[in-house]
Amino acid sequence: MKLLNWQQIDTVLLDMDGTLLDLHFDNYFWQHYLPAQYAIHHNVSIAEANRTLQTLINERAGSLQWYCLDHWSELVGMDIPKLKEDIKHKIAIRPHVEDFLTALQNNGKHIVLVTNAHPTGLALKMNVTRIDTWLDVIVSSHEFNTPKEDQAFWHALDKKVVFDPKRTLFIDDTPRILHSAEIFGIAHLLCISEPDSQKGRTESRDFLNVAHFDELLPLS
């Protein structure tokens, strides 16, 4: 089944973590590696480290602070970018991403990365994966001081990048962010249902879903 009419799409906005890159890296970092390192650094049990970190995460979910590595370094008293660097071998491109990006290029689509990732973490992932070679523009929400969850992000993006919302496709793995894009007026929306290679598929009830990009190929 053909999910999209590519004749109606000029610009493709792409999330990074969980969309182009395997979310397993981030989930492993926040759920396992950081708690273990926090427990050692602060001389507490793993259980206490998990409780503390989960509380901090819940308080910041969906805000720019949640995505800010500088904020987290100050919050936990540890060098978060350095800890991420320590496990960079776990950073991985999701299946069929390179084929999909190549197809977008070959079909003359404008390819824009729109991510909530902090610039330091973004640079690490670009250095490891080199996916920036396929991208026309890279935008971090930290440039606008507001996350993709907020309408202010989309209005700021509209001023920075030339695109017609009615002829734009946005792909993300987070329904609340897709809803934000929908409110702004992005016409074509797609949800990644298997962002973490180590977890099962979870489909959004509100958007079209794909597990992997081969479901969109070929474009024509």
Does a cis peptide bond (omega within 30 degrees of 0) precede residue 218? yes
pLDDT digits (tens, 9 = 90+) for 76-124: 999 999 999 999 999 999 999 999 999 999 999 999 999 999 999 999 9
Contact assessment for residue 29 and residue 79, using Cβ atoms and an 8 Å cutoff: no
Name the CATH superfamily for 6-22+92-216.
HAD superfamily/HAD-like (3.40.50.1000)
Amino acid at 3: L
| Number of residues that this document lists for the chain | 220
The Cα 167–Cα 137 span in angstroms is: 17
The whole-angstrom distance between residue 170's C-alpha and the CA centroid of its chain comes to 12
What pLDDT sits at residue 62? 83
What pLDDT sits at residue 61? 86
Q: How would you list the strands of the sheet with 188-192, edge to edge?
A: 137-140, 110-115, 11-14, 168-172, 188-192, 208-210
The whole-angstrom distance between residue 114's C-alpha and the CA centroid of its chain comes to 8
The Cα 71–Cα 88 span in angstroms is: 20
What pLDDT sits at residue 3? 80
What's the predicted TM-score (pTM) here? 0.95
Domain regions of the chain by residue span: 6-22+92-216, 25-89
pLDDT digits (tens, 9 = 90+) for 3-34: 899 999 999 999 999 999 999 999 999 999 99
